[in-house]
Every structure is written in C-alpha cells, then in structure tokens.
A and B are shown apart, each in its own frame.
Chain A
C-alpha cells in the first residue's frame, strides 16, 4: 500500500479505472460520473461497516466521490491506511458503464479527528460536499467542527441520538448561530415527509377551513423508543399552523403537548402502541379531530398490509373521501437518497426545529466544549 497522500489516492484511483478499462468487462469504456462529494464519519469500528454498506447502496442513486472515515479495529495497525474502490451503477446501460469511487480512510483514534484537512484534499473540486454524521451528536469533535464550518450541508440522524431531548434542544438552540452558512439536515425529517404529504392532502381546497378548528391530534408510534418522529410531526403541525406553546418546557417527549391555536387550545398526544423492536418510533397512525362549525375526523393509518397507508376524512359521521397509497419501508440509503435530491436549505425544517427548541428544556450549554462562545 502506498503512503497515504492525496496524490497517491488519485493515482490509485486512476490506476483502478485504467486496469478495468483494459479488462474484457469494459470494451466500450467507463464513464466516471461525480455529482456530489459525500463524506461520512463512523465513530466506531462496527458502525463503520454499517455505514460502508449504506454508502455502497447510496452510490446507485447519486454517483459521486464517497469518503468514509472510520477508526481502525486494531491499535497495532498503521496510524492511517486508505483503500480505494470503484462502484459501478447497476441500473445504467451495461454497454456504457457508469462508475464512481469510494475512498476509505482507516485511522487510529489518536489522529482520526484531525483528518479533516486530508479529507478536504481528496474531494472532487467544484462539487457540493455533503457530510454525514451517522451516530450520536458529539459535544465536541474536531472533525465534525471543521466539516460543519466548511462544507455545504451536515446530515445527522436523530434516531441515533442517545439523549434525543438534549441533542434536539441543542440543535434547535445553537446550530444556526454557530454554523450560519452550513445547512443542517436530519434523516428523521426525511422519514416523516410522506406522513406530512398525506396529512397535507387531507386539507387541500375547501377542506383547508377545517385546519383552524383542530382541537386534538393523536399520533401513534411504535413503543420501545423515544417518539422522535412523532414529536417532529407535532412540531411541524404547530409551526405550519401558527400554534404557540405556552406550557412549561418539556423534558420528556412523551408528555402531552398543549398549544394555543386560533380557536383555543390544541392538544397533541403521542401514544405508544405495541410494535416489534425494529419498529420502535415508527409512526403508525395520525388522527386529527376538528370541532365547531367544521367538525370532522381526519386520519392517516397504516393498513394491515404494511406496504399500504390509508388517508381518510369523515365529516358528519360520513366518509368524505379516502385514499390508499403505497408505503414502502425506507432504508437509510433510501432516506439519504431522497434527501440528497434537494440541495437547498429546507425552511420548513428550520421552522420545525425552532419550534422543537421552544418546547424542549433548555440544553445544558456548559457541556458545549470547544467553547465557541
């Protein structure tokens, strides 16, 4: 293996494609396509394998340069090693192979946080750079700090937060102050977007007048975890509909949420329902009750067939309409693939995060090492 330098890595990549071009597999040549740079940082060895698998699948959606930084499994290994590999898109025309590459940096714990400069040196120039932090939110990590300051967007996955309330409150409180130029995105936000679309559909056209008379919202989620997705959905509804939270700040996401709506108080209940472990936190049903002049019940519910969801509305005890849609489970690579399609900052997510920040207990800022102020 060559000494880890940017030049050697580029040279190995060129060699990799040259060898393949000479092989019988690619008589019509290879096209190297890069639409983005994606850097991922796995904080432990085991997670490194998981993240590597996800990146391998993600390539199929977004050809680009993928850089995985992960710690070495064995302290006897060299301080820094690198591996390059090619990824070809399986759906592209086999006669015109479309490929991109992955660079894996494996480092000892003492130096891994300081690899940000080296990582910058192997990015494909002039392309957007996405940074995926797949684990728990760090209080201070040099690699994270430098990436968040200098790259275009940081992806976190709040489903991996060990203390979701504290981490979410921190993001709501400090992110935009500390990194004003870097977009923040959460994979859990992508996971609830189909629920948002279905709920929104229920209130199109003349049905929008019912929104002002919402009195109660019940969100059922798979028990066994923190209902982060349900909480996001609640915050999204509140932020979009202009509800205000005047209650004491919450330290648990399972507490009832009470808002002040245009026609009085609105209660949102997050209700656990029995579910297998792997479905903890998943949303199972959303029920919205309106009262007054425009009374009705609006529901979006998972069908017994796990691939279907039914959205329906009932007014005056009669079915107003219903709609059945497919609802395939999204794996992490699907979630990232959807998220990477849109590059602009998401103002609704920003509003939702601010709403979450206004509901949750203040984060303990004394823990914010790095003391950026």
Chain B
C-alpha cells in the first residue's frame, strides 16, 4: 500500500519497498526510557535500512531528564550498537541527523507550546508537511495530562497533515479507568487518530493467523464446534518479575497479559471472516468475540479461573527466589503471577468449545502458542488393535521458533497395526531465510501509513476489561484458596489448573 503522499512520486511505484512511510515527525514522550532505546529506535533503524523511513523524518524525544540533544543521540546510539555493532558513524549520523531532545515536565504547558513551534520549524526545514505522531511511552498516570496538553496546544488538529497518538499499554487499570481514559483521549483526538498499541499484534505469526485462516480453504470448514474439542492459548515466561515489581504488584498477570495479548490472540483465532481486509472490518469482528465471552460470576470464577504465585525453585539448574522474595514485592503479596482461565464464547460457531488461556512467570520456558485440539474420530476403527490414539492438534507457535505444526496419527511400518503421532511442520525460520521483522518495526510503519488494522480500538479495550472484571474483582478482594505461593519456579504451575480441564483427554500441553 502506498501512502497518498507517495502516490505522487511515480518513481516509487512498483518498487519492492513500496510500503514506505510518508514524511513525518515522531514525538516520543518518555524518550529517556528503556522502550525508546531498546525497541523504538532499533525499529526505526530497520525501517531506515530497508528504505521505508522517509528522507523527511524528524524524531523529537521528550522526557523529564535534563540531557542535551547530543547526549540523547549518544544514548540511543549505544543502545543500537548493542544489537547492531556494525553500524558505522557515517550511517548513524545520517540516520540520527534529525533527532532532537527536549527536556520538560509533562504538566508544563510551555513545553507543548515550544514543541508546536519546533515542529513547525522542522516542517519548514525538512519537508515533513505537518504530519505528526505522538508516542506515549510514559507511565500511564500521565497519559491524560499529555493528551490534554497536546489538545490545548493545538497539536491534535489535522490542518496541514495528520496528527496521531500512539498509546502504550496498559490502557487503563480496569473497566472504569479505561472508559475514562477513552473519553479523555477522544475529547482531543478522533478515534481514527488513536493507535492503542499491543506489540503482540505486530508479530509476524499473529498476523499469519488471518492469512492461515482466510487464505486457505482447508481450515475454515473444520474451525468450529463440530470438529474442535478445545483451544489452548499459552504465553509462558521463564523470567521472574525482575525490576518491574512496582508495576507488577499493582497489575498482576491478568492485567499484564490477558486483557491485551491473550484476548487479542483469542479474537484472531475465533473471529468470523471480515467482509473486507480493512482495519475497522477486522476490529468489528474481534469486538464481537470479546462481547461474546460468557460473563463470569462468583461461582464460575472459582471453578474456571485458577491463580497462582511462584515460590522459590530452579531454572536451568540455578536457584531462583520466589515472587515474595523479589525486590520491591510485598512479602504477603497475593498478586498472581500465574493464571489459567476457561472461557466460553456464546456464538454459533464456538458454542460449548472451551478456550483455555494461561500465562505465567517462572515456568520452565518462554513460549507463546495457540493450539487447536480436534475431536476424536467418531468411529474407533482401530480400538482393538491400538492402545491409544492421540487427538489431532494444530499448533501455531508465536514465539520462539515461529511456525505451524499439525500432529496426526500414522501407521508405524511393520506387520502390526500400530499408530504413532507425527508432526507436520512449517517453520518461518526454515521456509523463509528472511527473518521475521520486529513487532515495533511493523507497528511504527503502520501508524505512519495510517493503517490501524494491528492496533486496538477503544471499544475493544473496554469489552476486554468488561469480560475480565469479575475475575479481577474477586481475586483482589479475597485471599486465594490454599496458600500462596502454590507453584515452584521452574514447574508448569499449580496442580489445580489441571482440574479445570474436566475431561480426561484434555490436558495442558507440556511445552
């Protein structure tokens, strides 16, 4: 897709780098933070290397730290060199020639006025034609303040070019705060100017859900309650809470992973085919899934939602502390670091099919995947000859080792009628020599191009919060049944999670 600004350039047409961003300025709030150095600037550099970043491009970093333009660039360069040591001074200087830094408080209106002047100057000097993106990479408690000030300074207006705001997660702390934040943002920006980012949606394999489901004819006919026994979506981490204890104590695993990442993956797995491949058509279908989540009550929270917290244990042979022993964590904390939830979607397609979602810290390995387990064949033709047949499973691995695996039964060569499960594998890393792009690279480019397909709409965030609130409310107001911690670091989580599977042929996948 070519942006309108580039359509006027006939030399761009037909080039393999056709999806190139239009001239623009990117303003990053919280620019001295980790995300800018570790993710955003490396992603911009990749776009630069691929000729997808426009020649007319400005980056303005804003945060409270009093550092110079030079120090800002130096810090970014050092961070980039860690992942790309081959970047020469000449390349870096060219890439960063229009990087600027402005120190100031987010509540200081003069900073916004000065920013407006600076942006106009840069438009004039570098031909960025009034296109602006404001990226909020700050703690969420200053989102409203920044947005309100941007509005007051006239920076949300789209008079000459576009004006967009990118909001990092968490989008709200609960349903009420999400609604309030949506309302505040919409007072300043229209919905089509708002890009709520969930970096999971920028991952190649997550986007491949749409291609796999809707560009092939073999999956969709069996993608429903008639053939699917259940679906498991897992996002496990081997890391503990690390230096994020402050944030984690107030959020926990549900806010950190379920409300956004896991629900989004579930939506892409479960949604109906959109009528057209366009941002709002896709988001409409995702919203229907979130609205179809059967509401939890106190009883179903107790039976269909299992929480856990890791205790001390071993990972890769090394002893690691329990959650309550981590720096900055309350020794009596009941913050869950593990959650497994059984969800039913009240739709024609998925009636009666459980979706098992789980995510946790300090599990044996880091992996994210969605697995569709199919029903057993209706006629057990081989029941007298074979001991046990495993159900067919289609696994979509999101990270690491991105790809798709189908498990199916096959006859073991020989005189007896013995079956064994084998894998049919597709791996991105082997079928395509080209590596998959970093999520932020894709999402930044999409935002510059005005493509909101991989961003979350306001009503989606509210529907996700609404579905999760009964679980959050009960968990935050009651002590866990049994004692915390209830799983060892390095194990696959609390045993109670197995009980929610109900049927003997349903088991959590050992990853």
Please give the residue numbers on chain A whose beta carbons come within 8 Å of chain B beta carbons, in ascending order: 31, 33, 35, 60-63, 89, 91-93, 98, 193, 196-208, 211, 237, 240-242, 303, 305, 308, 311, 320-326, 337, 341-342, 346-348
| A35, B434: Cα distance in complex, Å | 13
Residues B90 and A35 in contact, CB atoms below 8 Å apart? no
| A259, B10: Cα distance in complex, Å | 17
Chain A residues near B15: list those with CB within 8 A.
193, 196-197, 200, 348
12 A-B residue pairings within 8 Å (CB atoms): A35-B431, A35-B432, A193-B15, A199-B11, A204-B5, A205-B6, A205-B23, A303-B90, A320-B127, A321-B56, A346-B14, A348-B15
Give 1 or 0 for each of B87-128: 1 = CB within 8 Å of chain A CB: 010110110010000000000000000000000000000110
| A19, B88: Cα distance in complex, Å | 46
How many Cβ-Cβ contacts under 8 Å join chain A to chain B? 114
Q: Which residues in window 61-94 of B have CB below 8 A to A?
A: 88, 90-91, 93-94
Chain A residues near B55: list those with CB within 8 A.
201-202, 204, 311, 321, 323
Chain B residues near A347: list those with CB within 8 A.
14
B51 within 8 Å of A (CB atoms) = yes
| A347, B432: Cα distance in complex, Å | 24
Chain A, Cβ-Cβ closest to B17: A197
B244 within 8 Å of A (CB atoms) = no
Residues B431 and A205 in contact, CB atoms below 8 Å apart? no
Whether A203 contacts B54 in the complex (CB less than 8 A), given A92-B430, A341-B434, comes out as no
Chain B, Cβ-Cβ closest to A307: B88
Residues A60 and B9 in contact, CB atoms below 8 Å apart? no
Chain A residues near B432: list those with CB within 8 A.
35
Residues B56 and A204 in contact, CB atoms below 8 Å apart? yes
Residues B433 and A240 in contact, CB atoms below 8 Å apart? no
Whether A204 contacts B23 in the complex (CB less than 8 A), given A197-B15, A198-B51, A321-B126, comes out as yes
Chain A residues near B430: list those with CB within 8 A.
31, 33, 63, 89, 92, 98
Residues B6 and A204 in contact, CB atoms below 8 Å apart? yes
Chain B residues near A322: list those with CB within 8 A.
94, 97
Q: Which residues in window 358-406 of B have CB below 8 A to A?
A: 401
Give 1 or 0 for each of B147-182: 1 = CB within 8 Å of chain A CB: 000000000000000000000000000000000000
Whether A323 contacts B9 in the complex (CB less than 8 A), given A92-B429, A201-B54, A342-B16, comes out as no
Residues B433 and A200 in contact, CB atoms below 8 Å apart? no
Chain A residues near B436: list those with CB within 8 A.
none
Residues B433 and A324 in contact, CB atoms below 8 Å apart? no
A167 to chain B, nearest CB (A): 23
How many chain B residues sit at the interface, stated as a range, is 35 or more
Other A-B pairs beyond A325-B51, A346-B14, 7, CB < 8 Å: A33-B430, A200-B12, A203-B11, A204-B5, A240-B11, A308-B90, A325-B94
B258 to chain A, nearest CB (A): 31
Residues B94 and A205 in contact, CB atoms below 8 Å apart? no
| A326, B20: Cα distance in complex, Å | 18
| A202, B11: Cα distance in complex, Å | 10
B368 to chain A, nearest CB (A): 18
| A1, B97: Cα distance in complex, Å | 63
| A244, B5: Cα distance in complex, Å | 26
B129 within 8 Å of A (CB atoms) = yes
Chain A residues near B401: list those with CB within 8 A.
93
Residues B54 and A205 in contact, CB atoms below 8 Å apart? yes
Chain A residues near B94: list those with CB within 8 A.
322-325
B472 to chain A, nearest CB (A): 40
A183 to chain B, nearest CB (A): 14
Chain B residues near A324: list those with CB within 8 A.
90-91, 93-94
Chain B residues near A98: list those with CB within 8 A.
427, 430
| A169, B20: Cα distance in complex, Å | 33
Residues B22 and A204 in contact, CB atoms below 8 Å apart? yes
Q: Which residues in window 26-83 of B have CB below 8 A to A?
A: 48-49, 51, 54-56
Residues B126 and A208 in contact, CB atoms below 8 Å apart? no
B90 to chain A, nearest CB (A): 5
Selected contact of A204 from candidates B12, B97, B427, CB within 8 Å: B12
B425 within 8 Å of A (CB atoms) = yes
Residues A60 and B13 in contact, CB atoms below 8 Å apart? no
A351 to chain B, nearest CB (A): 8
| A87, B1: Cα distance in complex, Å | 37
Residues B9 and A200 in contact, CB atoms below 8 Å apart? yes
Give 1 or 0 for each of B132-145: 1 = CB within 8 Å of chain A CB: 00000000000000
Chain B, Cβ-Cβ closest to A350: B14
Chain B residues near A201: list those with CB within 8 A.
51, 54-55
Chain B residues near A325: list those with CB within 8 A.
48-49, 51, 91, 94
Instruction: Tell me which of A93, A308, A321 has the highest count of chain B C-beta atoms within 10 A of its own C-beta.
Output: A321
Residues A348 and B14 in contact, CB atoms below 8 Å apart? yes
Chain A, Cβ-Cβ closest to B9: A208
Chain A residues near B431: list those with CB within 8 A.
33, 35, 63
Whether A211 contacts B51 in the complex (CB less than 8 A), given A31-B425, A196-B15, comes out as no
| A193, B401: Cα distance in complex, Å | 31
Chain A residues near B129: list those with CB within 8 A.
205-206
Residues A211 and B425 in contact, CB atoms below 8 Å apart? no
Chain A residues near B56: list those with CB within 8 A.
204-205, 321
B481 within 8 Å of A (CB atoms) = no
Instruction: Tell me which of A91, A93, A323 has the highest count of chain B C-beta atoms within 10 A of its own C-beta.
Output: A323
Chain A residues near B5: list those with CB within 8 A.
204-205
Residues A206 and B433 in contact, CB atoms below 8 Å apart? no
B502 within 8 Å of A (CB atoms) = no
Chain A residues near B10: list those with CB within 8 A.
211, 240-242
| A346, B18: Cα distance in complex, Å | 13
